[in-house]
Amino acid sequence: MAGLSETVFDPLTLEVIRKISPTTVLDIGAGQGKYAELVRQAAPQAHIRATEISADYVAQFDLRAKYNDVRVMDAYDLIHHHKNETYDMVVIGDCIEHLPKSRGLDLLNFLTYRCGYLLVIAPEFSYYDTAKANLDHHESHISVWSERDFIWHDRWAWMRSEVMQFFLLRGYQTSPMPFDRLIGDINANPPTVTRMGTGAPFKPAHLLASIVSHTEVIDGNSYTYRNF
């Protein structure tokens, strides 16, 4: 169905949102508006803005009723027109694979500066014929994403289940939830990941963290430039 997102990581997404407790959220590629519904459950106080490239989806799925603000635009254009906005959390759910790889990487780098946490959910081994399925051409998968695409980032965690992947990046904006504690809390009391297509319980979530420290000695004193 047009604009539909897989539900495999919904319980994990809910728990991550609860722990971050964002007050401002940007949902990139809103589709049917699933992530607005998840944010409303986990952080009802949040102001949620969406970008959606298809004006038809905005009307069909009544996105303006689900979000505080909806922009009908290509998310890549955020780089050119919205450089001064920051968010506690940005979500790119079942969307980044619709972008050319170069644009997707540009967008991730841009957003890292402008959010506390950046959540990316994407399939790797998934193809479908949008013409045969009568889907909007923007639904086509045109770039492949995996953990290998995030090694440029210094604080991130990920998990794979079947063909779906969950990536959580710590952005450069402040957040009351430290990255180490967030990952530790999730792994200590993991929500359940579900099976694709059925929603049946599958296995406990477990996030693998990748952290690169940036430490320098200046005048005999050791400084860590990023440890949050």
Dump pLDDT digits (tens) for 64-74.
Answer: 999 999 999 99
Length of the chain (residues): 228
> Quick one: tokens of 208?
């693998």
pTM of the model: 0.93
CB 112 within 8 A of CB 153: yes
Question: Domains (ranges, CATH) in the chain?
Answer: 10-224 (3.40.50.150)
Dump pLDDT digits (tens) for 110-164.
Answer: 999 999 999 999 999 877 665 554 455 677 888 999 999 999 999 999 999 999 9
Strands 47-52 and 24-28: parallel
Contact partners, residue 139, CB within 8 Å, separation at least 6: 2, 3, 98, 130
Phi/psi for 209 (5° steps) reads -95, 145
Q: What is the mean pLDDT of the chain?
A: 93
Q: Residue 52: its pLDDT value, please? A: 96
Count of alpha carbons within 13 angstroms of residue 202, beta-carbon side:
18
Dump pLDDT digits (tens) for 157-166.
Answer: 999 999 999 9
As a whole number of angstroms, the distance between CA 55 and CA 48 comes to 18
DSSP 91: E
To which residue do tokens 């794979």 refer?
A: 160
Q: Buried b vs exposed e over 92-102: b needs ≥16 C-beta within 10 Å?
A: bbbbbbbbeee
CB 52 within 8 A of CB 70: yes
Longest CA–CA span in the chain (Å) reads 65
Q: Where are the beta strands (DSSP E) in 46-114?
A: 47-52, 69-72, 87-93
